[in-house]
Structure 1
């Protein structure tokens, strides 16, 4: 399958590498390929320049967001949350029409030091806030901006290293979640997750549940900081709710 990945950050690279090993044709999209390839310094998270990554993976193609989306049969959105709606809305309507778009972006808003009324300090600075939150989600905003696209929210409750390789914890016996309004698109997302090695999948229902998945980001970070590293989450089923 031809799979487009929009974004060139560390998470996008995890998916590009894993999908390539699974035999998919991967097309990576960025806003301006020439600018992406010209960068020589690590990004804010210490990730090596994309040109260095690409040089060791000759089978990958780097092109614009629009060209990647047009070429992909399925699209994975790794564009940062602050810019995702704007960047996706700027694509030609034909690029994403009728396609499954898997969105794992988190709507982080990074603030200048001292801007937060009640700052949450972390080893890398103040925790960014979430916007939208509670009454809306980034995934829903993307779906409203792209009414002919089938948006699925998933991948977002784990670091992407774990998403593409769940077996690093408990032989893969932990849980991944998804939400969306289109059953066929959720089935496509489930097949991809199964290919990555996920067996315990929880369908949270309509895309409105993406609000919970995005808000989980803060809890996940808090647990990771407390444990000092990455981890998996396992849902233990009980009786039905009444």
Structure 2
């Protein structure tokens, strides 16, 4: 299958590498491929320059955002940072029309000017915007009515999303939310190919609010444990 991954950060790299390993044709989208390949310093998260990473992952094609989305058969994974995702996706809405867009972005505002900051080892915890009464997932779906948006992947580090067995042998839960049942089935099938055995459909795209707002709790648990972890929903 031809699958697009929008974004060249650590999360996007994790998905691109895993998809290629599974035999898919992978098209990675970036704003300016020439500029992306010209970078010689690690990014803000310490990831090696993309040209260096790409050399170690032959067969992955780097294209502008719109061209990568056009190349996909049906599935497009949004790994664009939450602050820029809505505007970037809206600009390529024609290329995304009719396709399934898996959105794992968190709408973070970094270095927020707030009365009661939450200090972390990497600085002040970012602020969610939107929050409570809306979500980035919903905003994307409203802006792109011809796209089948599914919120998922957002409750785990992406390295764990593509390799769930790295945590507890894979015995933890992934969530999907969206308006289209067929789209959620396609995302669940992809998760199954990644190794997930427990995928919970939590309902309509409005449930993206819960997934995005969980980000702070996920950070708190991660700081307490000092490492990656999984969340398991135990049914009665």
TM tier, smaller = over 0.9
Q: Does 1:30 align with 2:23?
A: no
CA distance in 2, matches of 1:110, 1:129: 7
SS at structure 2 position matched to 1:187: helix
Cα distance in 2 for residues equivalent to 1:47 and 1:119: 27
Equivalents in 1 of 2:15, 2:96: separation in Å?
19
Specify which of 203, 206, 209 is matched with residue 208 of structure 1.
Answer: 206
Report the equivalent of 1:86: 87
- Cα–Cα, structure 1 residues 232 and 92, in superposed 2: closer, same or farther, change >3 Å? closer
Matched with 1:218 is 216
- Of 215, 227, 230, 2:228 maps to 230
Residue 100 (structure 1) aligned with residue 95 (structure 2): no
1:48-93 Cα distance to aligned partner (Å, 9 max, x none): 1111100111211001000000001210000000000100111151
Q: Take 2:149 and 2:90, find their aligned partners in 1: how far apart are those partners?
A: 13
Look up the match of 1:138. Answer: 136
The answer (yes or no) to whether the contact 2:78–2:104 under 8 Å persists in 1 is yes
1:169 aligns with 2:167: yes
SS at match of 1:58: coil
How far apart are the structure 1 equivalents of 2:58 and 2:235? Answer: 44
Question: Counterparts of 1:127 and 1:208 in 2: how far apart (Å)?
Answer: 24
Q: Distance in 2 between matches of 1:117 and 1:130?
A: 15
2:100 and 2:148 in contact (8 A); partners too: yes
The 1:180–1:92 alpha-carbon spacing in structure 2 relative to 1, beyond 3 Å, is closer
Shift of 1:178: 0.7
Query: Is the Cα contact below 8 Å between 2:179 and 2:204 reproduced in 1?
Result: yes
Measured against aligned partners, the alpha-carbon deviations of 1:174-218 in whole angstroms (never above 9, x if no partner) come to 100110000010000000000000011111000000000000010
- RMSD over aligned CA atoms reads 0.8
1:56 aligns with 2:21: no
Structure 1 distance, partners of 2:49, 2:106, is 22
5+ residue gaps, structure 2: none
Q: CA deviation at 1:12?
A: 0.3
By how many angstroms is 1:116 displaced? 2.4
Which deviates more, 40-49 or 207-216? 40-49
Partners in 2 of 1:33 and 1:139 — Cα distance? 26
CA distance in 2, matches of 1:197, 1:58: 23
Does 2:147 align with 1:149?
Answer: yes
Q: How many residue pairs get matched?
A: 235
The SS at the match of 2:83 is coil
Question: What secondary structure, in the 3-state scheme, does the structure 2 residue paired with 1:86 have?
Answer: helix
What TM-score does the superposition give when structure 2 sets the normalisation length? 0.98
